[in-house]
């Protein structure tokens, strides 16, 4: 891997966190101000959670399992 580049798992984790933050911000908008903001917040929450779990699974799958050479 080239130094300075993020793996696909980390891109997915950071994208998921950004979407969850946007969902949090849009969730605070009152229904009278913008009715669509809450619906978009729910969509961002679902998509952000999916990205986050996908990235975490990708990062844990990449790590090699330790070998037990003591036996």
- Give yes or no for residue 1 having a pLDDT over 60: no
Backbone phi and psi for residue 66, each to the nearest 5 degrees, phi listed first: -70, 145
Half-sphere exposure of 52 (CA within 13 A, CB side): 12
- Give yes or no for residue 21 having a pLDDT over 90: yes
pTM over 0.85: no
The string of pLDDT tens digits covering residues 57-70 is: 988 876 666 676 65
pLDDT at site 2: 57
- Give yes or no for residue 36 having a pLDDT over 80: yes
User: Among 5-9, 31-35, 41-45, 49-53, which is the least confidently predicted range?
Assistant: 5-9
């Amino acid at each position: 891997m080239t130094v300075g580049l993020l793996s696909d798992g980390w891109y997915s984790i950071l994208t998921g966190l950004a979407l969850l933050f946007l969902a949090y911000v849009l969730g605070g908008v009152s229904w009278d101000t913008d009715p669509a903001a809450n619906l978009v917040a729910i969509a961002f929450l679902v998509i952000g959670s999916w990205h986050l779990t996908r990235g975490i699974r990708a990062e844990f799958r990449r790590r090699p399992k330790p070998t037990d050479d003591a036996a």
